[in-house]
Amino acid sequence: MSTLSDLLTAQDRLSETDIEWLHRVHGDGQLLADLASADIVIWGQTTDDSFQAVGHVRPSGSATLFYRDIVGEKVRPQWQSQVREAFQSGLIVDSTSPEWFEETPTRVKAVPIVRRGTDGRSVLGVLTRHTNLSEVRAPSRQQLTFDECADAIFGMIATGDYPDTTAPMGPRRGAPRAADGMIRLDVDGVVTFASPNGLSAFNRIGFVDELEGETLSDVARTIMPTERDASADESSLPVLLTGRSPWRSDIQARGVTVALRIIPLRDHGERIGAIVLCRDVSELRNQEQEIITKDATIREIHHRVKNNLQTVASLLRIQARRTSSDEARESLLQAMQRVAAIAVVHDTLSEGLSQKVDFDEVFTRVLRLVAEVAAAQNTVAHTRKTGTFGTLPSEYATPLALALTEVVTNAVEHGLAGREGDVEIVAERSEHTLTVRVRDTGSGLPEGQVGRGLGTQIVRTLIQGELSGSIEWQTISGTGTAFDGGTEVVIEIPMRWIRS
């Protein structure tokens, strides 16, 4: 399905700033649809001066008119003149009489979406409100208030006062909606209407009386008596609950958390009151806190595992220095390097929330271990990496880091062996496969055969057993480069195992 950005970019009529403005309007489409109890459609102008639906939101508390998706469709003939008039005049255009849509009587309101910039007002598109008249009954006081608030916001959209670019973005989980609880404030911050759910939300955090007729900032002071005086802090809760500025936050009391969103209402720039949306998000916030705690615990575990592995590596290094046998010293140093490579992965995991790692960063640190091996054997190895590994899950980053440590170390120890040379690592990641090529300017495979030592067995086990991949060794020839005569190791891992 095409997104709002895709459809608007294809028309090539609006700037990125204009498209972002329409995104903000569309982001509040559910609020508008619920307040108006109507379908909300956003129209963008096309290259042939018609209009195309670029966004659509259905009301959650009433029946939709559009059972099929209309995003991407051209405006229908019965709405075209109304939409065009709103776009050209910059004024709200209401239908004069009910219209029929698929045997359903409807009323349509066309609202120009206006953005005020340094060069004046510009109409970016048109928002239409489609009300299903077949379901119209005697409106309740709540519905009348919802309609008034919807009309106020439509008016602000038409004058460029909405959305407010200074308003903070809301959380993805637990954002309050109109049906969750709504409180209407007048210009002085006095509650003129509180929906049942809105009243219940404030009852749960400690206010047991009726909200209507109360000043909401005073209510906040009774709920949170430790709050500092409003005059001392312009961002304090009581000041914000006067409705003068857009605001999103949580209020906590008596073990209950209520998410709040304040939307100031204006009429041609003059403040006329505000809407306060509220929702009891106690359970959601408790779940989020549990997740944060678990993430912190997991990071701490990775950190301790890393420390323990580094300790083991240090002990192996000390033991290697004190042993008199060259063969034993070499085995201990190799074991130390393998442990250190695993520690690098755990160190990376301990620094972030995700259980995935940026393997390019991990491999850069692994190459430093290889440089130590080269220095210890009087070898000068010039290593370079091209391409990108991307992000890998931790369960696959560890075996791959260990396998590549072995492969690159072998290229330095056996390929270059006491002289100066190059080792190149090429990573190629496609949709289906991660391919890694390690090649050196060394002496090539002894007698053309792959060794059968412990390192080779470890690499085969890791690549073929744990990553379900393949590995091949070959002598390079016929390339016309300095790598001719050297060794190339090709590792292929199916992406189904490591897809991000």
75-79, 121-125, 407-411 — which is least confidently predicted? Answer: 407-411
Please report, for the domain that includes residue 112, its CATH number: 3.30.450.280
Query: What was the pLDDT predicted at 120?
Result: 78
170: in domain: no
297: in domain: yes
Q: Write out pLDDT tens, residues 211-255.
A: 999 999 888 888 876 544 444 344 567 777 888 889 888 888 888
Which ranges of 377-482 does DSSP label H, i.e. alpha helix? 394-410, 454-460
CA dihedral sign, ordered 116, 117, 122, 127: negative
Q: What letter does residue 254 receive in the DSSP assignment?
A: T
Query: What was the pLDDT predicted at 89?
Result: 95
Query: What was the pLDDT predicted at 145?
Result: 95
Q: Do 133 and 20 belong to one domain?
A: yes
Higher pLDDT, 296 or 49: 49
Query: What was the pLDDT predicted at 262?
Result: 93
- How many Å apart are CA 42 and CA 63, to the nearest integer? 19
Query: What was the pLDDT predicted at 228?
Result: 45
Query: What was the pLDDT predicted at 349?
Result: 73
Q: Of 264, 280, 296, which one is at a domain's C-terminal end?
A: 280
Across 133-161, average pLDDT:
90
Q: Do 22 and 143 belong to one domain?
A: yes
Query: What was the pLDDT predicted at 170?
Result: 63
Higher pLDDT, 124 or 402: 124
In order of 156, 285, 288, 300, 304, the CA distances from 293 in angstroms are 42, 12, 9, 11, 16
Higher pLDDT, 144 or 290: 144
Which pLDDT band, with edges at 50, 70 and 90, does 484 fall under? Answer: confident
SS3 assignment for 316-370 = HHHHHHHCCCHHHHHHHHHHHHHHHHHHHHHHHHCCCCCCEEEHHHHHHHHHHHH
Higher pLDDT, 405 or 21: 21
Q: Do 259 and 242 belong to one domain?
A: yes
Which pLDDT band, with edges at 50, 70 and 90, does 127 fall under? Answer: very high
Q: Write out pLDDT tens, residues 256-314.
A: 889 899 999 999 889 999 999 999 988 887 887 777 777 777 778 877 887 888 888 88
Which of 375, 370, 365 has the alpha carbon at shortest distance from 410?
A: 370
493: in domain: yes
426-430, 437-441, 481-485 — which is least confidently predicted? Answer: 481-485
Higher pLDDT, 6 or 296: 6
Q: Do 455 and 471 belong to one domain?
A: yes
Q: Do 9 and 71 belong to one domain?
A: yes
Higher pLDDT, 214 or 499: 214
Q: Of 125, 159, 193, which one is at a domain's C-terminal end?
A: 159
Mean pLDDT of the chain: 84
Higher pLDDT, 171 or 249: 249
Q: Write out pLDDT tens, residues 69-88.
A: 899 999 999 999 999 999 99
Q: Do 257 and 336 belong to one domain?
A: no
Q: Of 235, 250, 280, which one is at a domain's C-terminal end?
A: 280
410: in domain: yes
Query: What was the pLDDT predicted at 171?
Result: 60
369: in domain: no
* Contact residues for 338 (Cβ-Cβ < 8 A; gap 6+): 402, 405, 406, 458
Give the whole-number percent of the chain exceeding pLDDT 70. 91
* Helix-, strand-, coil-residue percentages of the chain, each rounded to 5: 45, 25, 30
In order of 156, 323, 374, the CA distances from 275 in angstroms are 13, 77, 68
Question: Is the pLDDT at 500 greater than 60, yes or no?
Answer: no
Count structural domains, the chain: 4
Q: Do 274 and 291 belong to one domain?
A: no
Q: Do 415 and 469 belong to one domain?
A: yes
Q: Do 384 and 477 belong to one domain?
A: yes
Q: Do 76 and 141 belong to one domain?
A: yes
Q: Do 154 and 13 belong to one domain?
A: yes
Query: What was the pLDDT predicted at 447?
Result: 59
Across 124-133, average pLDDT:
94
* 48: three-class secondary structure by DSSP: coil
368: in domain: no
Tell me which range, 68-82, 372-386, 390-404, 417-431, is most confidently predicted by mean pLDDT. 68-82
64: in domain: yes
Please report, for the domain that includes residue 260, its CATH number: 3.30.450.20
Question: Is the pLDDT at 387 greater than 80, yes or no?
Answer: yes
Question: Is the pLDDT at 115 greater than 70, yes or no?
Answer: yes
45-49, 83-87, 169-173 — which is least confidently predicted? Answer: 169-173
Radius of gyration of the chain (CA): 33
Which pLDDT band, with edges at 50, 70 and 90, does 487 fall under? Answer: confident
201: in domain: yes
**Residue range of the domain that includes 304:** 284-353
Q: Do 155 and 13 belong to one domain?
A: yes
2-11, 151-160, 181-190, 333-342 — which is least confidently predicted? Answer: 333-342
Please report, for the domain that includes residue 389, its CATH number: 3.30.565.10
Contact criterion met (CB below 8 Å) for 107 and 133: yes
